[in-house]
Amino acid sequence: MKVLPMLLLCVASLGAQNTPSFTVAQFKSLAWLGGQWRGSGGSYPNFFEDYRVVDDSTIRMRTLKDSTFAVASDSSLITLRNGRIQNGGSVVTRIRGDTVRFEPAPGQRGNGYTWIRQSANAWTAVLDAPGGANVVYQMRRVPRK
């Protein structure tokens, strides 16, 4: 399984205090997120998210109420600004191949997380949890109707 080797890579992440600078080309490498996704894992049998590439420095993310993708319950932006990729209170500390690592931004509380692209139609979100019991979510592409 691809998740365990990637988790080992995440242990050595830079941390948000030493956030590297990213380029537009590196941000564009996240375009695989674009589309509608059904997630499951943790305490959720199913949840739904939609990612849209807005331009070369912005991806809009919406959480949807159900599989119709009609009503959003939450939204956020993943942005590249001044070399920094940010998603809410988290910043990207590493992009390596099909893996992107987020850590809490300086002054923010929370846990880090890693997104790992498995294929064109699947990716895994691994959320760090205190005590090392990470929460893993499987994301599967939902074909557009």
pLDDT bin (cut points 50, 70, 90) of residue 3 is very low
All domains of the chain in start order, with CATH: 3-141 (2.40.128.210)
pLDDT bin (cut points 50, 70, 90) of residue 132 is confident
Distance between start and end Cα atoms, the chain: 31
Three-state SS at 84: strand
Return the pLDDT at 74. Answer: 94
Q: State pTM to two decimals.
A: 0.84
How confident is the model over 85-95, as pLDDT tens digits? 999 999 999 99
Tokens found for residue 114: 């890693």
How confident is the model over 22-49, as pLDDT tens digits? 999 999 999 999 999 999 998 888 999 9
Going 106 to 112 to 116 to 121, the CA torsion angle's sign is: negative
Largest CA distance in the chain: 43
Low-confidence winner among 5-9, 58-62, 68-72, 114-118 (lowest mean pLDDT): 5-9
What is d(CA 81, CA 94) in angstroms, rounded to the nearest whole number?
16
